[in-house]
Amino acid sequence: MLFGEVDVEEEWLKGGVEELDVHGGLDLEDREGSRGSFPRRREALYFCLPFRGHLLEYFSSNKNLDEEDNLLTCLADLFNQINSSKKKTGVIAPKRFVQRVKKQNEVFRSYMHQDAHEFLNFLLNELVDILEKEAKTGNGSPETISQSEKNVNGPVHVQENGAEKEPLITWVHKSFQGILTNETRCLRCETVTARDETFFDLSIDIEQNSSITSCLKNFSSTETLNAEDKFFCDKCCSLQEAQKRMKIKKPPSILVIHLKRFKFIEQLGRYKKLSYRVVFPLELKLRNTVENLDTEYSLFAVVVHVGSGPNHGHYISLVKSHDHWFIFDDENVDMMDESNLQTYFGSAQEYPNNTDHGYILFYENLCARN
Ligand SMILES: [Zn+2]
């Protein structure tokens, strides 16, 4: 159960297939020297419709370029293979993509726990780097460097020499990027200082018997900076007590929520998996936005961590396509009843029988879709 296949039925995507007629074959060639499971992430990405569309477009506009492989070309090639597969059944081994990932990043060759969340961040950042390089050398498709979309969003990055660099908004940004704002209010002069930062996902602390909504509320709760931890107020020109809170300034079109299930326990000197029960809703209202406007999201994919600890485990993906939920477990794909999602919320007991826990949630912005 190491490296997953991308098991996708093109027919499901187009809809209309009654019978699930799937799969076989496991690519074992990349097994050597690996421990843990390779993140089951690509299914979830494949089902991100805007992301897939951009990637396929990228593939068709670049397929004649005989360039060196990079992660983006490998991923685009993989998505294209899935998309153009005429076969009703079958598995496409992501060998080229997996080899490229390993070549690129030592961490994913030898790391003890190949964490799906780190992998997602690594992948998205790599794709952005590649697109930015291409835009610089003029290789990019017009889509990636559309003039009108420059400077619309995001803080301006200041380069080391002090020059302002215009942020390039790639389709990776358009799909996943949101903006958080850190507001700090000096308790002496009441001045509010706001600092923006961009994100591709929100990593949230979790509590036993809670919900995503309450965890998000804690994420945006007000924190007092005092004692050792005072804030330097520019207006008072001194360290002052202050109140700090984090709000969402621009909700992303795809909201990725990472539940911090792996916690370093000092007494144990190692990470422990928190199996806490955290309810995730099908429809999520994001309330902690700057303008206090509710943004509505709909759940379309869940990456589940299976296992009792951080160093051994396995990932499966739950994906919604054409109003049906599917469960992807390496070469096996099954249809799943929506009500079964609750078995992945976590456990209210300390030593659970069930070790399958929702770990990364993918929500689609309903306003952006309409
Ligand atoms: Zn002040």
Within-domain flag for 156? no
Torsion sign, CA atoms 83, 60, 148, 168: positive
* The most confident of 101-110, 143-152, 338-347, by mean pLDDT: 338-347
CA–centroid distance, 188 to ligand 1, in Å, is 5
Q: What is the pLDDT of residue 146?
A: 42
The larger pLDDT score, comparing residue 99 to residue 298, is at: 298
- How many angstroms separate the CA atoms of 333 and 83, rounded? 17
- How many angstroms separate the CA atoms of 175 and 22, rounded? 30
Within-domain flag for 339? yes
Q: What is the pLDDT of residue 296?
A: 92
CA–centroid distance, 152 to ligand 1, in Å, is 31
Tokens of 345: 């919320």
Within-domain flag for 20? yes
CA–centroid distance, 226 to ligand 1, in Å, is 13
Within-domain flag for 164? no
Q: What is the pLDDT of residue 30?
A: 33
Has residue 251 got a pLDDT over 70? yes
- How many angstroms separate the CA atoms of 152 and 198, rounded? 13
Within-domain flag for 3? no
CA–centroid distance, 235 to ligand 1, in Å, is 5
Domains contained in the chain, number: 1
Has residue 313 got a pLDDT over 90? no
**Rounded average pLDDT over 1-28:** 30
Please give the backbone phi and psi of residue 130, each rounded to the nearest 5 degrees, phi first.
-65, -45
Q: What is the pLDDT of residue 291?
A: 75
Which of 30-44, 47-61, 67-81, 309-323 is the least confident region?
30-44
Within-domain flag for 346? yes
Range of the domain at 89: 10-143+169-369
Per-residue confidence band for 186, with pLDDT thresholds at 50, 70 and 90: very high
Within-domain flag for 81? yes
CA–centroid distance, 180 to ligand 1, in Å, is 22
Q: What is the pLDDT of residue 290?
A: 80
CA–centroid distance, 237 to ligand 1, in Å, is 7
Distances (CA, A) of 313 to 6, 87, 153, 304, 305: 19, 32, 38, 10, 7
CATH code assigned at 79: 3.90.70.10
CA–centroid distance, 231 to ligand 1, in Å, is 9
CA–centroid distance, 238 to ligand 1, in Å, is 8
SS (H, E, C) 117-165: HHHHHHHHHHHHHHHHHHHHHCCCCHHHHCHHHCCCCCCCEECCCCCEE
CA–centroid distance, 179 to ligand 1, in Å, is 25
CA–centroid distance, 233 to ligand 1, in Å, is 5
- How many angstroms separate the CA atoms of 259 and 18, rounded? 34
Within-domain flag for 67? yes
pTM: 0.72
Per-residue confidence band for 137, with pLDDT thresholds at 50, 70 and 90: confident
CB 199 within 8 A of CB 180: yes
Average pLDDT of the chain? 72
CA–centroid distance, 185 to ligand 1, in Å, is 8
CA–centroid distance, 245 to ligand 1, in Å, is 16
